[in-house]
Amino acid sequence: MAVGTERAAASADDVWVPRPWVVRSATREIGDTVTLEIEPRDASAARPVAPGQFMMLYIFGVGEVPISVSGTGPTSGLLHTVRDVGAVTHALCNLGVGDVLGARGPFGSAWPIDEHKGCDVVIAAGGIGLAPLRPVVRHVLERRGEYDDVVVLYGSRQPDQLLYTPEFERWRAAGIQVEVTVDHADQTWDGHIGVVPTLVRHARFQVDEAAAFLCGPEVMMRFMAQELVDRGVVPERIHLSLERNMKCAVGMCGRCQLGPEFLCLDGPVFPWTRVERLMAVPEL
């Protein structure tokens, strides 16, 4: 796919230049995962961010990685939940309050939440995939009356790897059905055991009126989307967030290309119907 004029216009701004942002708080969520609240040192560097978009976070001298926005902080800061899996994320996870990092963005497509007002909403996440979806949950919480039944289906490998668990009770208190599962557990766990798609079978929602938002390991999303379709959810109402090796974030380098799609620019949020076939191609 050629880079069109819209894309060129989008990249004509200062999107290539990381701006200095300051860490306002760093909260260890679980063993290897930290949530950073960051604010631009110069307020003019701040841009409106929509749920689902990501920022490129830069540790000087180490490198740059795409990290989804996982919420907004108490003031004007952005929250990013980072899992320590490589050199850059390791450095990010070890930042402290007052430290400076580079940031550019936001980039990418957003969750089409407003398009589904009045619908039931299914939010399904695996592992750190809950981070890009937490803004959707918060969006729905703030506008609870605009949506019908809301279901959060979340899973991880084991109980101590579940994110944001302190927030679950608040979500439930607002009438959101929160179902949590883990792949493995000992007898101290009293929740579900099994993979995330099995939770669909326990969730209460109107399939013909539901919109679904998925994020997690790709294989989990494939099975989850299929489970939802099998249950009767309209495929066009299923949306998912894909992440590959994003580098430039503006659709120029091709590192994150999935067939004709640039995930950084056309995504990361896609309708299931647009990427279903592509996700089944091993070479991609």
> Residue numbers of the site for other proteins (CB under 8 A)?
85, 126-129, 156-157, 161, 181, 183-187, 189-195, 197-198, 201-202, 216-217, 219-220, 223
Please check whether residue 175 is in contact with residue 165, taking contact to mean a CB–CB distance below 8 angstroms.
no
For tokens 């108490």, the residue is 74
Nearer to other proteins, 242 or 250 (CB): 242
Structure tokens at 224: 């989850």
- Among positive and negative, which fits the CA dihedral 252, 254, 256, 261? positive
Cβ within 8 Å of residue 219, ≥6 positions away: none
Least CB distance from residue 243 to other proteins, whole Å?
9
CA dihedral of 63, 64, 69, 75, whole degrees rounded to 10: 60
Tell me how far, at minimum, the Cβ of 219 lies from other proteins, in Å.
5
Name the residue nearer to other proteins (CB basis): 23 or 215: 215
Query: Residues 122, 203: contact at Cβ < 8 Å?
Result: yes
Residue 54 CA to residue 37 CA, distance in Å, equals 14
Its sign, for the CA torsion 25, 53, 146, 122, is: negative
CB of 204 to other proteins, least distance (A): 11
The tokens of 246 are what? 């994003």
**Shortest Å, Cβ 27 to other proteins:** 20
In the complex, least distance from residue 187 CB atom to other proteins, rounded to whole angstroms? 5
Cβ at position 68, least distance to other proteins in Å? 13
Query: Which residue, 142 or 283, has its beta carbon nearer to other proteins?
Result: 283
Q: Which is nearer to other proteins, 5 or 187 (CB)?
A: 187
Nearer to other proteins, 252 or 258 (CB): 258
Taking the least distance from each CB to other proteins, the nearer of 105 and 129 is 129
Cα–Cα distance measured from residue 22 to residue 34, given in angstroms and rounded to the nearest whole number:
15
Alpha helices in 72-164 (DSSP H): 87-93, 130-142
